[in-house]
Amino acid sequence: MSDLAPLLQRFFTDKLDRHLNASPHTKAAYADTFRLLLTYAQQATGIAPSALTLADLDADLIGGFLQHLETERGNSAATRNARRAALRSFFSYASYRAPDAIATISQVLAIPAKRTKTTLVSFLTAAEAEALIAAPDTGTWLGRRDRLLLHLGIQTGLRVSELTSLRVDSIQIGPHSQLECIGKGRKQRVIPLQKNTVQLLNAWFGELPPVPDGPLFPTHAGTPLTRAAVGKLVTRHAATAAERCPSLTDKNVTPHTLRHTCAMSLLHAGIDTASIALWLGHANIQTTQIYLHADLELKRRTLERVPALDERPPARYKASDALIAFLKNR
C-alpha cells in the first residue's frame, strides 16, 4: 500500500486544519501544488498518483518538477518558490511520521529557493487613474458596477480577494462612512471612505437587491465576482482608457496595480510608511518600503538637495579684517 496518499491526507486534515487552522486560500494553494506535482510525477514515472510512494518523490523528481513549472508552465521564479514552500511544509511534516524515508526527505528539504529579481512596483498616475475609472460605460448596469469597483480599489487599496468578498453590509454609511474587510492572514481592518466614494456607493445600493449579506459586486446571476473575472475587466477597461490616456499603453494594469496606486497616492500626500502599512494591512512595515523605492518624485527632491559633481559649493561668508579686529578686541 502507498505510504504517500494517507500521509498527504493527514497533512491537510491534521496540520493545516487542526493545528494551523489554515485559511481556505492557503489550503487551495497547497492542494493545487500537489495536484500539479502528482500529475508531473505520473508523467515522469508512469505510476498512478494513488500508487506513488514517498520514496518516488525524491530530490531529482522534485527538482525536475520545479524546473517544469518555469520551463513548461511559464511560472515565474517567485511562483516556483511559493510551490517549493508548500512542498517543504509537507516534507517537514513527513520527516516525523516517515522515519524510514528520512534520507529522501532530507535531500528534498535541501533544495534551495531560487533567487528572484526585485522590480519596481507599477502604479498609475492621477491622470491614468482618472482615465481608467472613466473607461466603463455607465449607461449599463455592468459599467456602473465596474466603475465603482475600480474607484473603490484605487481609493481603499484592497486586494482583489478582499474586493470580491465584500458584502453590502461591509459598508457603513454615516457621518464617518467606512468599509470593513477581512484581509490576508484573516486580519480585520476598517478603512474610511471619501465623500465621492460614498456617493457612488449610495447610488449603487439602489440597484442591488435589499439583501445585507449579498455580494457588493455581483454577477448577473447574483454570485460574487471571481478574481479571474476582476482581472479580465481591469484589462478590458485599461485598454479602453489607453485610447484617452496613451501612457497606459506601456503599462501592464492588473487588479494589484489599483492597490499600488492607492499606496503611492498616500505616500505622495505625505503619509508615513507605518500608517500606509496599517491602511494596506501589511504584516510587516518592511513590505511598505517598496513604495519608497518606486517614488521617483522623492528621489528627485533628494537630488535637488545634493550639489552636482562639477558644481562648487557656495562660498562661505568671510568677515572683513575690520570686523575680525572688532571681535578680537571685545
Task: Say which of 10, 88, 189, 256 is annotated catalytic.
Answer: 256
d(CA 65, CA 35): 12
Neighbours of 137 (CB within 10 A): 12
Decide if 151 is catalytic.
Answer: no
Under DSSP, is residue 218 helix (H, G, I), strand (E, B) or coil? strand
Task: Say which of 68, 184, 189, 244 is annotated catalytic.
Answer: 184
Decide if 184 is catalytic.
Answer: yes
Task: Say which of 30, 40, 93, 291 is annotated catalytic.
Answer: 291
Neighbours of 26 (CB within 10 A): 15
Beta-strand ranges (E) seen in the chain are: 171-172, 178-182, 188-192
d(CA 236, CA 96): 50
CB 170 within 8 Å of CB 222? no
DSSP 283-322: SSGGGGGHHHHH-HHHHHHHHHTSPPTT-PPPPPP---HH
Decide if 25 is catalytic.
Answer: no
Decide if 40 is catalytic.
Answer: no
Task: Say which of 282, 300, 316, 330 is annotated catalytic.
Answer: 282
Residue recorded with cell 499600488: 260
Decide if 256 is catalytic.
Answer: yes
Decide if 10 is catalytic.
Answer: no
Task: Say which of 83, 237, 259, 260 is annotated catalytic.
Answer: 259
AA identity, residue 14: D
Cα 181 versus chain centre, distance = 16
Task: Say which of 145, 159, 237, 260 is annotated catalytic.
Answer: 159
Torsion, Cα 251 183 28 257, to 10 degrees, reads 0
DSSP 86-99: HHHHHHHHHHTT-G
Catalytic residues: 159, 184, 256, 259, 282, 291
